[in-house]
Structures are given as structure tokens and as C-alpha cells.
Amino acid sequence: MVQLRVEPAEAIGSCEELMALAASLEQQAAQRYRELAGRCGRGNAPELATLLSELADRAEEQGRRLAASSHPASPAEPRSPPAGVFDDEGLASASPALVSRYRVLSTAVRNEERAFAFWSYLAAHARTPDIRMAAEALAHRELEQVAALRRQRRMAFRAERSQPASTSLAAPLAQAESRLLARLQDRPAGGFAPDREGLAELVTHGRDNLATLDRLPEIESAGGAVSMPQEVDELAMAEFLLEAYLDVADRSQDEELVREAQRMAGRSINRLTWLRQHSAWRDENDHKV
């Protein structure tokens, strides 16, 4: 689960105010998804434009419901959306040719996870029990959205993996691991010893995964082509590789392959968790500067 990059500063005084804030977040998401859909449409990527339009429609509908949920006859005044929750993660500046359905859904999943973290934070710091219960309900709704989007993302992953290598930006799992390992080896760890130790452990995990792929090339065959664009950050690379290993563990009928894929997935989960935490810490410090 991703973490918030900016600690919420909102002081919520009523459930109506909370719902207005929730509506503003949905409206922001709808607007951004709509803008991205238009860009993909102009970039001759109609399937992505349709997907983004569907995400926008869903957010708009939810925003309308939230805006009038407390007092339908007199909905609360609109509020500015909270900072640090919605992030297009570079989709707005990426070429549509380098954006996949999987990448769009991954971005949507992480946005919902940040929204869950946001409402959970507000619930924990609520002034009154009714505000706490309303924030917890919003957090629960975000978890439901995360689960639904993750199912769509897994389907997109499998569909993209099944594409012929000659028609996709494909790279074997070992090449993807090597790319991520090279990024991690060049990455500054920060000034604290735990950061340095954690990064060293990630490098070891990457080498262990590469050694396993070298020893059991059948994992490559079971994993298929990894359709991963060249210009993605470490978080996206780590998440994509985790999906690949989980997919091998889910689909393989070979007990050894399943066992090794699960071990690789375990190492990948640790890697992804560290990267997310370190990224959140770095973003927070950049924000303070």
C-alpha cells in the first residue's frame, strides 16, 4: 500500500465538510483522467482513451453522490482537493505509444491507495465519532475500488504478457531485473545507516532473483514477455516484476517453479516496500525544502 507524500492539513469540522472534500477529490480525478483521455485520443490511442474516460465517468458519478450525500437539498460548499493524493505519475507527459493499459490501471490503483491512506489519516485524527465513522466508510470504499482495479490490472498484465515479442516493447524477466538492479546500484541511499543497509539488501535481492532466473530458465518461459517501456521509474519496474512473479506462481503447474516464484515475489515485495517508503521520505523532504 502506498503512503501519503504530504501529511493532510485539513481540519474537518463536520460530516458535510468531509463529504465536500471527498467530492472535490473525485472531481479532481475525473478532470485529470478526462484530460489524459483527450490526449490519448489525439495520440491515436483510442483504447486507452476509452479506459481513461471510464475512470473519469466513475469518478464523476461518485463525486456527484458524495457532494449531496449528507443533505441532498443543500449540498456542502465545494472545497479544493487535498494535495498529494492524486498523481498521474507522468502519464500526462508520456507519449501515448509508451503508455499501456497496465500502466494506466497501475496509476489508478496507486491513486486509490493514496486516497485510502488519506481517509484513514483523517479518521484517526477526527474530532468527533461521526466524522471518524464517515472517514472510515470512505476509506473502506477506496479499498473496494483498489480491489476492483487490481483485478483489472492483473487481466491487463496477462493480456500484455501474451502479446508476441515482435509487436511489443518486450524484455525477458532477466533483462528487466538487470535494468532495475543497475538503477538501484546507482541510487543514493541517503544519510542514514538503515537506508544504506536497506538499499544493499535490495541489491542482494536483485542478484538472487537473477541467479534464480539463470538457474531456472523455465521461469522465463512461464513469465513470458514483460511489456515494460524503457522510461519508467524504479517503483514501476519493481511493481511490474512483482506482478510477473506472482503470475508465474499463480499459473504454473510445476511445484519447484511455484516455490521459486513465490520466493522471488517475497523478495520483490520487500524491494517494492522499501522503494515506496524511501520515495515518500524523499518527496517529504523535497517538499519541506
H or E segment at 187? none
Q: Which domains does the chain have, with CATH numbers?
A: 15-161 (1.20.1260.10), 167-288 (1.20.1260)
Cα→Cα distances 188→195, 203, 275, 279, Å: 9, 12, 12, 12
The three grid cell numbers given for residue 219, joined into one nine-digit string:
521461469
Q: What is the mean pLDDT of residues 268-288?
A: 69
Distance of CA 198 to the CA centre of its chain: 22
Tens of pLDDT, residues 150-181 = 889 888 877 776 654 433 334 478 888 998 99
State the pLDDT at residue 68. 74
Q: Residue 117's closest CA among 82, 85, 87, 153?
A: 85
Tens of pLDDT, residues 11-43 = 788 888 899 899 999 999 999 999 999 989 888
Of 27-41, 165-179, 195-209, 232-246, which gets the smallest average pLDDT? Answer: 165-179
Q: What is the C-alpha to C-alpha distance for residues 20 and 31, in angstroms, rounded to an integer?
A: 16
The three grid cell numbers given for residue 45, joined into one nine-digit string:
490511442
The three grid cell numbers given for residue 242, joined into one nine-digit string:
512483482
Residues of the chain above pLDDT 70, percent: 80
Taken in order 94, 99, 104, 106, is the CA torsion positive or negative?
A: negative
Whether the predicted model's global pTM rises above the 0.75 cut: no
H or E segment at 160? helix 129-161
